[in-house]
Amino acid sequence: MLHMRKSLIVDLSASSVLALVELGLLAFIMHLGLLDPLKSRHAEGMYFNYVAMARSPFSSDPMVHNSPYCWRVLTPWLVHLLTKLGFSLQGGFLLITTISLCGTVIGVYALLRLISATPWQALVIALLVQTQFAMGLSGLWDYELVDPLTYLLLVLGFILYLQDKPRWLLVVLALGVLNRETALAAVVAFGGEQVINRDWRRLKAYLPAYIVPILIIIVLHVAIYNNGGDSLLMRIQGVWSEHVNFVGRDSTITLFGNVNPFALNAYHLTINSYGFLLPLLVLQVIHPPHVMRRPLAWIFLLVTAISATIIGGDTERLMIIAFPVVAIAAWYELCWIAQQIKLPAATIGFFLVLAQSLFLLGYFYKIAGDYSLVAAIKQEEPHWLLILWLLVLVVLIGAVLVAALWALGFVTRLLYQRVRV
């Protein structure tokens, strides 16, 4: 009983730290003037569709019925309810976004604790997820989107799946597809793993949790007409054309300036989505793949990569939805690295968090265009942040190259041993 109480106190303390970090990021964005909860900063984009849906969910306003946004009803409806309690539209969106992102990183911590990670190890990986661009900046900055609640529902879905709770999973996945159709990736991953493992008994128990979300998607598409929106095929063709031509994203141009479009697009599909989690994920593929042996992991990654590359325009916002399996993979590899170099996994992880936080800090200032807190350094070297970001990029590329060389050496040794036999 005493051990359970101590464990609960530790877990609550770690969750409080993650929530405070998220609130700190929010305060920092507001300090730099990147976010004003009293008014929208957006002049155009998908934000207006969600705001219109939240203002009057059943109006005849074309913005309310513009696909694919018109089918993502959960967040706008929740904001609409909050306006009845006295919140402004922007205040309602910001509240849901902040709570969802706090819940997401705490959910990552809980997921890792569920698979036997120590509190420090789980906290480090959760911080690595939290300091990603999509979580630490974009998710808060673009608070009038539905993505944060999707992240929360996805990590809850993974927790419930690993705890074998199909009834609660049905509720979470149903809410997930009401918020954004990308929640269907979890349905494909969970059901696909059970089919590949021929676990028919479990598949039968989970069928309602898979069928209900699909039916909800169908009902939404039939009940809510689209007005002026492109068809799914037209959307895929348009976005695919952009990716084929390697058209870079505005946020990366803001960061790096005019660089090679191919490199710019590759950056968004990989490093900008996962940061230091990326080399750890690569190691998971080439080193004893504890997670990758599970179809759940590689199916979810595959579905995410395909949807982000072919359908989505904001690649980092779609790629990041694979964070539950990426976090688990990163934990395994961090523990393996710790065994090899005889250092605690949490110690290594905190160094990674520090480096990644510096990158995110530079991103804040680059977008804000406000270097007031580093005026002295700016006077000596105006481009010091760019140099810092490029150094971090070199470290990431170096980690991937080292992992590739390690894999090559492993394969060579394996082939040599077979030849000798």
Q: Determine the Cα–Cα distance for residues 314 and 312; give it in Å rounded to an integer.
A: 6
**pLDDT, mean of residues 233-255:** 49
**Which of residues 263 and 341 earns the better pLDDT score?**
341
Tell me the C-alpha distance between 41 and 395, whole Å. 35
Q: Which of 6-10, 271-275, 398-402 has the highest mean pLDDT?
A: 6-10
pLDDT at 242 over 90: no
Around Cβ 191, how many Cβ atoms within 10 Å? 18
Work out the percent of the chain whose per-residue pLDDT is above 70.
69
Which range, of 63-72, 80-89, 371-380, 408-417, averages the lowest pLDDT?
Answer: 371-380
Residue 104 has what pLDDT? 96
CA 141 – CA 163 distance, rounded (Å): 33
* pLDDT value of residue 346: 85
Neighbours of 410 (CB within 10 A): 12
Residue 277 reports pLDDT greater than 90: no
Does the pLDDT at position 156 exceed 90?
yes
Per-residue pLDDT at 400? 56
Question: Looking at the predicted structure, is the pLDDT value of residue 384 above 70?
Answer: no
Domain residue extents for the chain: 2-420
Q: Is the pLDDT of residue 193 over 60?
A: yes
Least confident piece of the model among 101-115, 126-140, 212-226 = 212-226
pLDDT at 82: 93
Buried/exposed 362-371: b ≥16 CB within 10 Å, e otherwise: bbbbbbeeeb
CA dihedral 57, 58, 63, 65 (to 10 degrees): 110
pLDDT band per the 50, 70, 90 thresholds, residue 5: low
pLDDT for position 96: 95
Query: Which structure tokens are listed for 370?
Result: 């406000």
Q: Lowest-confidence range among 3-7, 171-175, 201-205, 206-210? A: 3-7
Cα–Cα dist 110/116, whole Å: 10
Q: What is the structure's pLDDT at 125? A: 94
pLDDT of 279-296, one tens digit each? 888 787 777 667 777 888
Q: How far apart are CA 263 and CA 243, in angstroms?
A: 12
The Cβ of residue 227 has, within 10 Å, a number of other Cβ atoms equal to 14
Q: Residue 389 pLDDT more than 80?
A: no
Write down the pLDDT at residue 376: 36
The answer to whether the CB of 305 falls within 8 A of the CB of 319 is yes
pLDDT reported for residue 414: 67
Rounded Cα–Cα distance for residues 316 and 336 (Å): 27
Is the pLDDT reported for residue 392 higher than 80? no
Average pLDDT over the chain reads: 77
pLDDT band at 257 (very low <50, low <70, confident <90, very high): low
Hey, which of 53-67, 121-135, 289-303 has the most confident mean pLDDT?
121-135
The pLDDT value given to residue 152:
96
pLDDT at 246: 40
Span 233-238, mean pLDDT?
A: 54
Highest mean pLDDT among 241-255, 292-306, 375-389 belongs to 292-306
Tens-place pLDDT, residues 302-338: 788 777 666 655 556 677 888 999 999 999 989 988 8
Res 57 pLDDT > 80: yes
**pLDDT above 80 for 130:** yes
CA-nearest of 213, 100, 93, 218 to 150 is 100
C-beta separation of 216 from 174 below 8 A: yes
Q: Tell me, what's the pLDDT at 239?
A: 52
What is the C-alpha separation between 116 and 299, in angstroms, rounded?
23
- Taken as a whole, the chain contains a residue count of 421
Average pLDDT over residues 51-69: 81
Cα distance between residue 370 and residue 197, in whole Å: 54
Q: Which segment of 12-26, 27-41, 350-364 scores lowest on mean pLDDT?
A: 27-41
pLDDT at 386 over 90: no
At 191 the pLDDT is 92
Q: Give tens-digit pLDDT for 198-232.
A: 889 999 999 999 999 999 988 888 777 655 555 55
If one compares 65 and 394, the residue with the highest pLDDT of the two is: 65
- Classify residue 176 by burial, with Cβ atoms within 10 Å: 0-12, 13-18, 19+: buried
